[in-house]
Amino acid sequence: MARPKKHDGVVYKRKETNVWWIRYRDRDGLRRMETTNTTDWDEAQMILRERLTARDANTLAGIRRGKQTTFDEWADYFLENYSAPPIRTKATHVANMAALRTLRPAFRSRTLADIDSAAIEEHLRNRLRQRRIVHRKEGTVELGLVKPTTVHQEFRVLRRLFAVAVKRKLCASNPCAGVEFPVRVKGLFRPHYMTWSEQARIEEYALDYLRNVIRIITETGLRVYKELASMEKSQIDLANRVVFIADSKTPTGIGEVPLTDIAIEAFKNQMALAGPGRWLFPSESNRTGHQTEFKRAWRTTLRKAGVPYFRIYDLRSTFSTRLSAGGVADEWVTQMLRQADAQVFKRYSQMKLQMKREALMKLNRKASESAPEEA
């Protein structure tokens, strides 16, 4: 019979060192010894309590791996297994790599367990004081200060990286949870609801293909690049007034999407513009064979129309707003947007195409045009 232990763990010092060490036993009864890398006795006691708590929660092995895994090693693992397609889209993967190019120099050699909220806040403040560096023919040029939205995007990637580490039990908690962003970011990802009069003004200055894009998205809620820009003509069934989405951001986005009269007319016009060929939005200059971005034409059109800039993706928000203004229930709007909401799809899993058509009949294209008291 094993002898009962007098202490669950101890904090002690080794000879010729001022750093505190801790000694404790794991769930198998094996004695573990490790340095706390601190000369503060209270901080060493706190680390010992964290190890004992992790042992009781059966997460000690992961925490110990986190003490040995550097940020650089985990960043490589994260990009390969949690960022690269098909886990995430190519655009998301590119954004993650760009964010990690600035995060690696700050945390490269530090282990995951050693990175705390104070270190992250210090990095964010330093990053906000840096200037944008661009490479031109004449050499490297420094521009204005880095925008807070850019730094916030990098922080979101860092938070996601640590969230995965917590799930893998490499960290006891996400250090980003205790971080207060140094600068208030105004207007971040705030959707813009395009009014009917704004749409008419934008369409007046838009190129023919961009006018079709605007009408299709505001009438169907299709995703701009994942679903519409890469659409093939074979996916369009004008006789049955539907388009079939074979590949989407989420599995719930795959399926038939009903069309309104305006959407059908826009599809007809675009098919005539596209001419013979496979793609609805062909592009000879792109190796994919179809257009992959509308941002430049979109920005130019808004400037000519005198409309303040907003994202072309906000056309989906316009679609959902007009449905809501037409009296369609929020659950149905989520269904029409084909969002991956498990609870909503559980309730409306038997929703048929005809029911979707009836919802489209309520689409109010003049939402936000009436006075507030009338609304």
Matching residue, tokens 């309104």: 260
pTM: 0.59
- Cβ proximity of 241 and 259 under 8 Å: yes
> Where does residue 90 rank: exposed (0-12), middle (13-18), buried (19+ CB within 10 A)?
exposed
Which CATH number applies to 196-360?
1.10.443.10
Local confidence band at 64 (pLDDT 50, 70, 90 cut-offs): low
Report which of residues 325 and 215 the model is more confident about.
215
Structure tokens at 292: 């992959």
347 pLDDT higher than 60: no
What are the backbone dihedrals phi and psi of residue 300, each rounded to the nearest 5 degrees, phi first?
-65, -40
pLDDT, tens digit, for every residue of 23-59?
A: 878 777 788 777 776 788 887 888 777 777 767 766 5
Report which of residues 143 and 98 the model is more confident about.
98
Determine the average pLDDT of the residues in 120-138.
87
Partner residues linked to 10 by β-bridges: 23
- Cβ proximity of 128 and 183 under 8 Å: yes
32 three-state secondary structure = strand
pLDDT, tens digit, for every residue of 135-187?
A: 777 778 888 888 888 899 999 999 999 999 888 877 777 888 888 888 776 65
Distance separating alpha carbons of residues 242 and 221, to the nearest angstrom: 13
When the pLDDT of each residue in the chain is averaged and rounded to a whole number, the result is 82
- Cβ proximity of 318 and 209 under 8 Å: no
The pairs formed by 148-151 with CB atoms below 8 angstroms and a separation of 24 or more are 148/181, 148/183, 148/184, 148/185, 149/185, 149/188, 151/124, 151/127, 151/183
Could you please state the CATH topology (level 3) that the domain comprising 71-178 is classified under. DNA polymerase; domain 1 (1.10.150)
> Where does residue 81 rank: exposed (0-12), middle (13-18), buried (19+ CB within 10 A)?
exposed
Q: Which of 9-13, 64-68, 111-115, 216-220 has the lowest mean pLDDT?
A: 64-68
Partner residues linked to 131 by β-bridges: 145
Q: Do 196-360 and 71-178 have the same topology in CATH?
A: no
Cis before 282 (ω within 30): no
Partner residues linked to 73 by β-bridges: none
Question: For the chain, what are the domain ranges?
Answer: 9-58, 71-178, 196-360
The pLDDT value given to residue 346: 41
Local confidence band at 253 (pLDDT 50, 70, 90 cut-offs): confident
